[in-house]
């Protein structure tokens, strides 16, 4: 009977998962690791993946279905930076730790605390002859991708980081994300320089379907970061870019790929649960694709973690023991887009109800948004009446932001979502892995351990 119980438990757990994807034993086996896919979910602390479970739940069934995150959770990682920066990390120091295995100060890109350059797993993989891919929803010279690709004393030096992608020697074979404003400048056109290095350049998602197989690829699809997932022409643009990039990277020597779901963090900074769930959904669909890819490519390892958690998300607030994500699953526009509409249109109960996909709104709730708009208009008029010298010492009032802030608060009340602030927190973050050698990332680890294990795998599988 004792021997039978574990088997029964496995059967029960398998039956509980109603996903169309059937978990395969190959994903847990030990085998050669030829390809490594590192996924960073920027800002995605444990509350985000729990929230996504309930967001994605099928309300017509009694069970709460497993998500892709539930299937592959292996442990957690601490995220603290070097002591000089205290206990709370930023994305640059965290990405440098994940990429190099070395703690550093907040803001550092590929440097240690003494501002010496550190080798990253991307650099090592490139030296070993592997192809390199980078796919992000931020600009491609943002903190996370830059920490894997380059070196700089400050993450804010965006133009210098963009320049370094060429000047330090190109070390990527496929790079997709945003960044027109940094790569097509008056003083320097880096896109033309990539083209001169035989790169195929694209600037529309549709072009991902017809990539040449014999050229490296540069794809930029936004001025800075890409549009929010919920507003983008492709709501699953991370998935689309990933599916296009992988065939370009496949080769006998293998590849290293960095994928970043960048804008979960941006949604957290903005305390925007509507956009956050759309971003996590894009990531989840990307992981489901990678599940199936690994099942047919058992020499591919996928690791997913976050650099930190953002916003102090709480999926319940004000002492009420409930969370109501149903509104979020219906919405098709971001709060930013809805706010933009109301800048030039009256706020009415009928229109607001329509924008919230049929969710009832009270006269009081309409009044709160109307008041926020009118007060912002008044402040803007006062600002415009000031002299140019006076204006320089003030921030220009923004009507759209004022409306958006009230909309987000309304959605938080409707869903009973809470936030502790707009910054990063120091909580440990979840670690997920599937494919060969996934056990190396299990348990309670530090973010630097992830890079150290990837370095080990690269050396062991030369």
SS3 annotation, 229-276: CCCCCCCCHHHHHHHHHHHHHCCCCCEEEEEEECHHHHHHHCCCHHHH
Query: Can you give the pLDDT at residue 30?
Result: 59
Residue 7 to residues 154, 176, 426, Cα–Cα distance (Å): 53, 44, 39
Query: Can you give the pLDDT at residue 97?
Result: 98
pLDDT in tens, 90-104: 999 999 999 999 999
Report DSSP letters for 119-134, one per residue: --HHHHHHHTT-EEEE
Sign, Cα dihedral of 327, 332, 335, 339: negative
Query: Can you give the pLDDT at residue 13?
Result: 39
- Whether the Cβ atoms of residue 165 and residue 124 lie closer than 8 Å to each other: no
pLDDT in tens, 160-180: 999 999 999 999 999 999 999
Query: Looking at the predicted structure, is the pLDDT value of residue 311 above 90?
Result: yes
- Pick the range with the lowest mean pLDDT from 25-39, 241-255, 416-430: 25-39
State the Cα angle at 409 between 403 and 414, rounded to 5°.
Answer: 125
Q: Taking the model in full, what pTM does it have?
A: 0.93
Query: Can you give the pLDDT at residue 403?
Result: 98
> How far apart (Å, rounded) are the C-alpha atoms in residues 14 and 26?
15
Q: Is 93 a catalytic residue?
A: no
Q: How large is the average pLDDT for residues 292-321?
A: 97
Measured N-to-C along each axis, helices 447-460 and 91-100 cross at an angle, to the nearest 10 degrees, of 30
Q: Could you tell me whether strands 309-310 and 424-425 are parallel, antiparallel, or unpaired per DSSP bridges?
A: antiparallel
Which residue out of 7, 19, 76, 91 is catalytically annotated? 91
Phi and psi for 421 in degrees, rounded to 5? 175, -165
Residue 387 to residues 55, 392, 432, Cα–Cα distance (Å): 49, 9, 55
pLDDT in tens, 14-57: 333 433 333 343 444 457 999 999 999 999 999 999 999 999 99
Phi and psi for 431 in degrees, rounded to 5? -125, 135
Domain ranges of the chain: 26-314+423-460, 326-415
State the Cα angle at 136 between 159 and 42, rounded to 5°.
Answer: 100
Sign, Cα dihedral of 183, 184, 189, 195: positive
pLDDT in tens, 324-370: 999 999 999 999 999 999 999 999 999 999 999 899 999 999 999 99
- Whether the Cβ atoms of residue 380 and residue 396 lie closer than 8 Å to each other: yes
- Whether the Cβ atoms of residue 420 and residue 311 lie closer than 8 Å to each other: yes
> How far apart (Å, rounded) are the C-alpha atoms in residues 205 and 243?
12
What tokens were used for 372?
């926020």
Classify 24 as helix, strand or coil.
coil
What tokens were used for 392?
């320089």
pLDDT in tens, 47-59: 999 999 999 999 9
Query: Looking at the predicted structure, is the pLDDT value of residue 137 above 90?
Result: yes
Query: Can you give the pLDDT at residue 31?
Result: 72
Helix (H) or strand (E) holding 432: strand 429-434
- Pick the range with the lowest mean pLDDT from 26-40, 109-123, 183-197, 327-341: 26-40
Nearest CA to 374 out of 343, 352, 348 is that of: 343
- Whether the Cβ atoms of residue 239 and residue 286 lie closer than 8 Å to each other: yes
> How far apart (Å, rounded) are the C-alpha atoms in residues 42 and 433?
16
The residue assigned the tokens 């630097």 is 448
What tokens were used for 93?
């120091």
* Assigned architecture for domain 26-314+423-460: 3-Layer(aba) Sandwich (3.40)
Query: Looking at the predicted structure, is the pLDDT value of residue 11 above 70?
Result: no
> Could you tell me the pLDDT band of residue 9, with boundaries at 50, 70 and 90?
very low
């Amino acid at each position: 009977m004792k021997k039978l119980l574990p088997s029964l438990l496995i059967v029960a757990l398998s039956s509980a998962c109603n996903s169309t994807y059937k978990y395969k034993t190959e994903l847990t086996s030990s085998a050669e690791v030829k390809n490594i896919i590192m996924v960073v979910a920027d800002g995605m602390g444990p509350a985000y993946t729990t929230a996504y479970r309930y967001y994605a739940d099928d309300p017509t069934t009694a069970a709460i279905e497993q998500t892709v995150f539930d299937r592959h959770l292996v442990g957690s990682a601490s995220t603290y930076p070097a002591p000089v920066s205290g206990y709370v990390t930023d994305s640059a120091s965290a990405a440098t730790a994940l990429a190099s295995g070395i703690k550093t100060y907040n803001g550092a890109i590929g440097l240690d605390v003494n501002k010496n350059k550190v080798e990253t797993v991307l650099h090592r993989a490139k030296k070993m002859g592997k192809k390199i891919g980078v796919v992000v929803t931020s600009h491609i010279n943002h903190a996370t991708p830059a920490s894997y690709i380059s070196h700089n004393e400050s993450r804010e030096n965006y133009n210098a980081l963009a320049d370094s992608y060429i000047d330090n020697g190109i070390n990527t074979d496929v790079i997709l994300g945003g960044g027109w404003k940094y790569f097509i400048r008056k003083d320097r056109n880096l896109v033309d320089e990539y083209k001169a290095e035989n790169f195929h350049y694209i600037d529309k998602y549709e072009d991902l379907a017809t990539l040449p197989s014999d050229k490296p690829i540069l794809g930029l699809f936004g001025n800075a970061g890409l549009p929010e997932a919920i507003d983008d022409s492709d709501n699953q643009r991370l998935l689309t870019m990933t599916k296009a990039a992988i065939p370009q990277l496949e080769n006998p020597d293998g590849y290293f790929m960095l994928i970043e779901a960048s804008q979960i963090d941006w949604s957290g900074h903005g305390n925007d649960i509507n956009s956050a769930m759309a971003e996590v959904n894009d990531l989840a669909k990307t992981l489901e694709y990678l599940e199936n890819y690994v099942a047919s490519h058992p020499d591919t390892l996928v690791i997913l973690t976050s650099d930190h958690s953002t916003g102090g998300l709480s999926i319940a607030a004000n002492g009420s023991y409930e969370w109501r994500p149903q509104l979020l699953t219906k919405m098709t526009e971001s709060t930013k887009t809805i706010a933009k509409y109301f800048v030039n249109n009256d706020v009415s109960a009928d229109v607001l109800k329509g924008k919230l996909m049929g969710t009832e709104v009270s006269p009081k709730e309409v009044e709160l948004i109307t008041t926020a708009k009118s007060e912002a208009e008044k402040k803007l008029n006062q600002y415009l009446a000031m002299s140019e010298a006076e204006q320089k010492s003030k921030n220009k009032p923004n009507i759209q932001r004022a409306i958006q802030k009230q909309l987000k608060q309304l959605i938080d009340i409707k869903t009973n979502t809470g936030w502790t602030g707009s910054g990063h927190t120091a909580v440990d973050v979840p670690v997920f892995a599937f494919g060969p050698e996934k056990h190396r990332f299990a348990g309670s680890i530090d973010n630097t351990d992830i890079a150290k294990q990837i370095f080990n795998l690269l050396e062991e599988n030369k």
